[in-house]
Amino acid sequence: MGSEQPDRRAFLKKGAALAGGLTLGAAEPAILKTSASGQAVEPQSQEAQSQEFHDYSDPEFVAYGQRSPYVNSVRQAVNGRPSPDEFGLVFHIGTPLQDQMGAITPSALHYFGTTRGSIVPHIDPAEHRLMIHGMVDRELIFTMDELKRFPSVTRLHFIECAGNRSSSRHRTIIESHGMTSCAEWTGVLLSTLLEEAGVQDGGDWIIAEGIEEVKGTSSLPTAKAMEDIIVAYAMNGEPLRPQQGFPLRIVVPGFEGILSVKWLRRIKVVDQFYMTYNDYGHLRQDPADAALSYRIGPKSVITSPSGGQQLPGSGFYEVRGLAWSGSGAVSRVEVSTDGGDSWFDADLRGTPQRMAHTAFSFNWTWDGSETVLLSRTIDEIGQIQPTREEVAEYWGRPGVRGQDNSIQPWRIESDGSVHNGIA
Amino acid sequence: MGSLKLLPALMLVGASSLAAQSPTFGLGRTPAAEEVLAWDISISPTGEELPEGSGTAIDGALVYRRSCARCHGGEGTDGDAPRLVKSDRGSAENPWAYGRVLPIRSPYATTVWDYINRGMPLNREGSLSPDQVYAITALLLYWNDLVEEDEVMDRESLPLVAMPNVDTWAPLPDWQPNSPRLPGYPY
C-alpha cells in the first residue's frame, strides 16, 4: 500500500508539466517562427521550466513569499564614501529606481540612511514606548498597541534624502537619484496625539527622537506636525521594516529625509529650534539655500531608459519615470526626446497624491540617432522643475543650490547605450 | 434675531475650545517623573536640560586618551573618525571656513555636549558620566581656542561659551502649508 502511494510532490510536478505542455501545444505549434527582422528564431520552450517546482514542504514557502530567482534588482551603497567605512558602517543605500514599476517602492528596496551608519536597533515592539512631553497639558506614554487603537491614516508619501544630488560623475540612476523612495504609510497623525496631550501656548517646535545607538533627533515646526506628519507603524501593508524604523517612525511629507525620524521613542514640545546634532549637520549659511534645502522641490526623473542601460535598437519604447514634489501633488509632467527643443505631456498613472511619487510614461519611437531624453514636473502650486543651467542663471553662479531638483538628462548614443547627460 | 444667528457659532467655538482642553480618546498613561527625566536628554541652546556635574580640559585630556583617541587620534586631527580641531583656513571674520568640525561649527556649545552624551564613544554610547562629558566637551572647546584649559564647564557655564558661528547660520524658513519653498523662486 505504502509503495503504491504516489509521492504528492512528484505527482504535482507531472500534472503541472502536462498542463504546461498542453497549453504550450495549443498556443504555440513547434515550428520555427520568424521575427519582425526576418531572422528565424527558436520557439521558446516553457515546458522545461514549468517542471521546476518550489518545495511545498518548506514552511517558508507557505509563510512568506519570495521573488523569483530570476528577479535580481538590488539596492547599492551610494553617495561616494567608502562603504562599509573604517568602522564597518554603511551610510546611504540607494533604491534601484531603474527597475521600479509604478509609484510604490517595495519595502525591501526602500532607500536607507541613518544619522551615522547602518546600526539598526533590534526592538521588541511589546517593550517599545512613545512618550509625548514638554510644553503639553498632559504628558503621555503609549504602548504600540495603544497607538494602533487611535484613528489611523494610510497615505502614499515619498521620502528623499537631502543629499540626493545628481552629478556628472554618476553613471546610473541609483547613484544620481537612488535616495528617494515612496511607500504607503499607515499610522496615527501626530496632530491626533498632540491634541490628546494639549500643546501649550509657545510650543512652536517639537523635537523627535529615535532609540537607536545615537538617538537621532530632529527639530520640526509644530505647525508641520499639526498639518500632516504621520506617526507610522506600517508600510506597504505590513509593519515597518527594521531599516525603516520598526516598530515606529515619523513620516514628514515633503521635507528632507533626515527629519523623518526612525525608531521613534519621544516627541517633546518645546519653545525653540533645538540645534540637535542632526539639525547642526544640515545647517546652511544663506537663508535662501536653507529654505531650498529644507523641502524637496518639484522633481522628476526618467527611470527607463536611464544611465547604464542599453537599447537593443531603434523602434518603439515606452519612456517611464517618476515625478514628485515636496509642496503638494504633481499636476503635470512633460517629456522631451530631442534634448529640450520640444516638450510633450506625459501620461500620469492614477491620481497624483500629495508629496508622493507619481509614475508617468510617454510613448516614443526612437529613430536610432543620438538624442537626449528629459522630463520635468510642474506641481500643484506652480513650481516648475528647472534645468541645471536655469538654477545657475537664477543665482548668478554655477552649481545647483539647495536640494537638487534639477532636470536629469539621459543621452542616448546611436549604438543604443544610455549615459548621464550632465556635462 | 441677530443673537439667534450667532448662537450656533458660539456653540461651535465652545465645542472646539473644550476639545482642545480635554483628551478625546483616553489612551496611554501619564509617565512617571523619573521616566521623563531618564529620556529627556536633548539639550536646548539655553541648556535647561543639562545635568549636574562639571569638568575642565585638563580632566578631559585623561578621559579623551582612554575613550576617544583610538578613533579620533591623539590630537583630534589624525584619526579615522571626524576631525575635532578647526582648520587653518577659517578666521574670526569667516568662522564657517573652520570646517565641518562639531566643536567649532556648531552655533551652540550645548550641541557638542548633547552629541557626546548621546552618541559617543561608538559602540559604548551612554557609558560616559556627566562629569566625563563636561570634561571632554571642555577639552574640545579648549583645542578650538574657545575656553581656557582650566575653565570649568557645567550647566551654568557651558551655554554661555561664545561660539563663532552663533550668528552665521541661516534660520529655517517659516513653514506654511501649500507655500512655495522660497517666495519668488520659480523652481
Phi then psi for residue A200, to 5 deg, are -85, 160
Residue B117: partners with Cβ closer than 8 Å, 6 or more residues away = B41, B43, B126, B128, B130, B133
Residue A339: partners with Cβ closer than 8 Å, 6 or more residues away = A371, A372, A374, A409
Q: Is residue A294 part of a domain?
A: no
Domain co-membership, A180 together with A110: yes
Q: Is residue A69 part of a domain?
A: no
Q: Is residue B88 part of a domain?
A: yes
Q: What is the domain range of residue B85?
A: 52-159
Q: Which residue type is seen at A61?
A: F
Report the CATH number that the domain containing residue A415 is assigned in CATH: 2.60.40.650
Q: What percent of chain A has pLDDT over 70?
A: 87
Of A42-51, A101-110, A126-135, A305-314, the least confident: A42-51
Domain co-membership, A139 together with A208: yes
Domain co-membership, A255 together with A328: no
Region B81-98: mean pLDDT is 95
* Buried-exposed string B143-154: b where 16+ CB fall within 10 A, e elsewhere: bbebbeeeebbb
Region A397-412: mean pLDDT is 95
Q: Is residue B42 part of a domain?
A: no
Tell me how close the Cα of B56 comes to any Cα of chain A, in angstroms: 22
Give residue-wise pLDDT tens across range B70-81: 999 999 999 999
Report the CATH number that the domain containing residue B56 is assigned in CATH: 1.10.760.10
Q: What distance in Å separates the CA atoms of residue B110 and residue B50, rounded to the nearest whole number? A: 8
pLDDT number for residue A116: 83
Cβ atoms of A197 and A139 closer than 8 Å: yes
Name chain A contacts of B40, Cβ cutoff 8 Å. 133, 268
pLDDT number for residue B21: 60
Output the average pLDDT for chain B.
Answer: 90
The residue ranking higher by pLDDT, A312 or A88, is A312
A residues 102..131 contacting B (CB < 8 A): 115-116, 131
Q: Which of the residues A143, A206, A276 would you substitute to probe the B interface, choosing the one with the greatest number of B C-beta atoms within 10 Å?
A: A276
Q: Is residue B93 part of a domain?
A: yes
- Segment (H or E) for A378: strand A371-379
Using CA coordinates, name the residue in chain A closest to B43.
Answer: A274
Interface contact B33, partner A, CB < 8 A: no
Please tell me the total count of domains within chain B.
Answer: 1
Domain co-membership, A196 together with A310: no
Q: Is residue A382 part of a domain?
A: yes
Phi then psi for residue A306, to 5 deg, are -140, 170
Q: Is residue A143 part of a domain?
A: yes
Phi then psi for residue A15, to 5 deg, are -60, -45
Cβ atoms of A254 and A295 closer than 8 Å: yes
Cα–Cα–Cα angle for A342, A345, A346, rounded to 5 degrees: 115
Cβ atoms of B148 and B154 closer than 8 Å: no
Q: Is residue A180 part of a domain?
A: yes
Output the average pLDDT for chain A.
Answer: 89
Q: What is the domain range of residue A114?
A: 76-283
Domain co-membership, A166 together with A217: yes
Tracing cell 505504502 back to the chain, one arrives at A2
Cβ atoms of B172 and B97 closer than 8 Å: no
Interface contact B2, partner A, CB < 8 A: no
pLDDT number for residue A87: 82
Residue A56 CB coordination number (10 Å): 11
Cα distances from A304 to residues A269, A310, A408, in angstroms, run 44, 10, 12
Residue A305: cis peptide before it, omega within 30 degrees of 0: yes
pLDDT number for residue A13: 42
pLDDT number for residue A191: 98
Domain co-membership, A21 together with A134: no
Please tell me the total count of domains within chain A.
Answer: 3
Output Rg (C-alpha) for chain B, integer angstroms: 24
Domain co-membership, A58 together with A95: no
The residue ranking higher by pLDDT, A168 or A8, is A168
Cα distances from A319 to residues A181, A304, A334, A362, in angstroms, run 19, 6, 11, 5
Domain co-membership, A47 together with A88: no
Contact B107 A289 (CB under 8 A): no
Contact A277 B42 (CB under 8 A): no
φ/ψ region of B28 (left if φ > 0, alpha if ψ in -120 to 50, else beta) reads left
Q: Is residue B149 part of a domain?
A: yes
Reported confidence tier of residue A86, pLDDT bands at 50, 70, 90 = confident
Domain co-membership, A122 together with A230: yes
Q: Is residue B138 part of a domain?
A: yes
Cβ atoms of B139 and B64 closer than 8 Å: yes
Is it the case that residue A49 has pLDDT exceeding 70? no
Residue B121: cis peptide before it, omega within 30 degrees of 0: yes
Q: Which of the residues A141, A199, A327, A378 would you substitute to probe the B interface, choosing the one with the greatest number of B C-beta atoms within 10 Å?
A: A141
Residue A44 class from Cβ within 10 Å (0-12 exposed, 13-18 middle, 19+ buried)? exposed
Domain co-membership, A230 together with A374: no
Q: What distance in Å separates the CA atoms of residue A75 and residue A70, rounded to the nearest whole number? A: 16
Q: Is residue A291 part of a domain?
A: no
Q: Is residue B143 part of a domain?
A: yes
Phi then psi for residue A265, to 5 deg, are -120, -15
Domain co-membership, A37 together with A84: no
CB pairs < 8 Å spanning A and B? 177
Query: Among A223, A272, A277, whose Cβ lies nearest the Cβ of B44?
Result: A272
Of A62-71, A274-283, A335-344, B54-63, the least confident: A62-71
Q: Is residue A1 part of a domain?
A: no
Q: What distance in Å separates the CA atoms of residue A267 and residue A140, rounded to the nearest whole number? A: 10
Domain co-membership, A303 together with A277: no
ipTM of the complex in this document: 0.89
Q: Is B181 helix (H, G, I), strand (E, B) or coil?
A: coil
